[in-house]
Amino acid sequence: MKLSRTEWIGMFVEIAGVLAYLIILFAIAFLFARQ
């Protein structure tokens, strides 16, 4: 089950995309908490 370079990058893209989305949601929670 060896992963090629493209597959590693694909996996990283998925994780990075989800992390970015969670950071946006955290920023929204932060904005509401400040009010």
Partner 1 sequence: MTISSPKIISYYTGFIVLGTSALMIIPVITAVCQAEWEPLFDFIISMGIAASLGFLLILFGRDVKSHPDRVQWKHGFAVAALAWIILMLICAMPYLLSGHSKSYLDACFDVMSGFTTTGLVLTQDLDHLSISLNMWRHMLTFIGGQGMVVLALSFIVKEGSGAYKFYVGEGKDIALVPNVKGTARIIWKISLIYLLFGTFVFWIAGLIIGLQPVSAFFHALYMFESSWSTGGFAPNTQNIMYYHSLLYESVAMVIFIIGSFNFGLHYAIWQGKRKEFIRNIEIQSFAVTSFLGCVLGIAALSKTGLYPDAISMFRRVVFNILSAHTTTGLGSVYAQQFAQQWGDAGILIMVIVMLIGGSACSTAGGFKGLRVGIVFKGIMRDIKKLIRCERSMKVDKFHYMKDIVLEDSVIRSSALIIMCYIALFTIGTVLGTFCGYSMADSAFEAASATGNVGLTIGVTTPAMPAVLKIYYIIAMYLGRLEFLSVFALIGLVIAGVKKVCKKYLA
DSSP state of 1: -
Please answer whether residues 31 and 23 qualify as being in contact, where contact means their C-beta atoms are separated by less than 8 angstroms: no
CB of 5 to partner 1, least distance (A): 10
CB of 35 to partner 1, least distance (A): 7
- Tokens representing 7 are 């597959």
**17 near partner 1, judged by CB under 8 A:** yes
**20 near partner 1, judged by CB under 8 A:** no
CB of 2 to partner 1, least distance (A): 10
